């Protein structure tokens, strides 16, 4: 078990990258084949034997999801994004005023071509949850100072920095699936019915028949039955 320093993580803020980098640093002290970023609202969809065999068959691939390649993310990275720490404030006035100010200042920076990063660099985005190899983590950590500097004022950089590192490195040829975001990271996530959708008991058959390895997201306050059913199924499979 690794004890990680407490980090005040704010949604959409560079603090999310700092937390992920520290997790990578601490976990990679002991070399593993793969490192999996999952949230507290994720669940595996298969037992450990199934998951281990999957990665053994696909050893060397990076499971990183890439979104729509035509979406321009320069404003997220190149602009100095103001008020990021307040975008999820409980105070509705502060919340919406922060969003308004960020968009307004970004438009002004774009209008006057005031960018804080290299506009010619290739940036990509996608799901921040991933499964990546030890080599990927090692090379990513070598550039952590540059990463912190590049994304210091970015918006939701946790959805950009891993994809951008991969596409600008030798790992671009090791992406498991570049064209399907959620197959690429092997996560079952539904953005069509929510932000993302919270899985319910009625979705049980859909989830257990999925080829994905993990699913997001679950909330026991909304539906605890689906969590119990999946956990019980996995435990039964593991013991069989």
72-127 pLDDT, tens digit per residue, is: 787 788 888 888 888 888 889 988 898 898 888 888 888 887 766 666 678 899 99
Express as a percent the part of the chain with pLDDT over 90. Answer: 68
Picking from 175, 221, 214, 159, the residue whose alpha carbon sits closest to that of residue 47 is: 214
- Give the count of domains, the chain: 2
Say if residue 171 is in the same domain as residue 228.
yes
Model confidence band, residue 138 (pLDDT cutoffs 50, 70, 90): very high
For residue 216, the cross-strand partners are 42, 189
Say if residue 129 is in the same domain as residue 166.
yes
Say if residue 183 is in the same domain as residue 229.
yes
Say if residue 89 is in the same domain as residue 162.
no
Reply yes or no on whether the pLDDT at 4 is more than 70: no
Say if residue 23 is in the same domain as residue 94.
no
**Structural domain contains residue 2:** no
Query: Which pLDDT does position 185 carry in this prediction?
Result: 98
What's the pTM value of the predicted model, to 2 decimals?
0.90
**Structural domain contains residue 126:** yes
CB atoms within 10 A of CB 83: 17
Domain boundary among 61, 88, 111: 111
Say if residue 143 is in the same domain as residue 201.
yes
Say if residue 138 is in the same domain as residue 22.
yes
**Structural domain contains residue 7:** no
Picking from 210, 165, 205, the residue whose alpha carbon sits closest to that of residue 189 is: 210
**Structural domain contains residue 154:** yes
**Structural domain contains residue 3:** no
Mean pLDDT in the chain?
91
Express as a percent the part of the chain with pLDDT over 70. Answer: 95
77, 131 contact by CB (below 8 A)? no
Cβ-based burial of 112 (10 A; exposed 0-12, middle 13-18, buried ≥19): exposed
Cβ-based burial of 68 (10 A; exposed 0-12, middle 13-18, buried ≥19): exposed
Say if residue 170 is in the same domain as residue 56.
yes
Say if residue 104 is in the same domain as residue 181.
no
Domain that holds residue 88: 80-111
**Structural domain contains residue 156:** yes
**Structural domain contains residue 8:** no
Say if residue 92 is in the same domain as residue 47.
no
Say if residue 150 is in the same domain as residue 207.
yes
Say if residue 105 is in the same domain as residue 193.
no
Match 């803020």 to its residue by tokens.
Answer: 13
């Amino acid at each position: 078990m690794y004890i990680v320093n407490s980090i005040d993580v704010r949604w959409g803020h560079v603090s999310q990258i700092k937390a992920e980098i520290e997790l990578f640093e601490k976990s990679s002290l002991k070399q593993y084949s793969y490192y999996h970023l999952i949230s507290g609202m994720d669940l595996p969809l298969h037992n450990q034997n199934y998951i281990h065999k999957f990665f053994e068959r696909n050893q060397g691939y990076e499971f990183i999801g890439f979104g729509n390649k035509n979406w321009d993310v320069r404003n997220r990275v190149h602009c100095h994004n103001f008020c990021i720490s307040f975008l999820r404030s409980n105070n509705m006035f502060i919340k919406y005023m922060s969003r308004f100010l960020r968009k307004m200042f970004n438009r002004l920076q774009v209008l006057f071509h005031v960018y804080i990063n290299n506009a010619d660099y290739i940036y990509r985005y996608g799901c921040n949850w991933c499964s990546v190899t030890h080599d990927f983590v090692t090379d990513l950590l070598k550039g952590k100072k540059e990463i912190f500097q590049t994304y210091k004022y970015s918006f939701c950089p946790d959805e950009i920095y891993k994809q951008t590192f991969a596409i600008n490195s030798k790992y671009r040829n090791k992406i498991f699936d570049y064209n399907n975001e959620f197959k690429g990271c092997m996560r079952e996530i539904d953005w069509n019915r929510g932000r993302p959708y919270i899985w319910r008991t009625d979705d049980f058959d859909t989830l257990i028949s999925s080829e994905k390895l993990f699913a997001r997201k679950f909330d026991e306050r909304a539906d605890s039955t689906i969590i119990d059913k999946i956990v019980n199924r996995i435990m039964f499979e593991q013991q069989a």
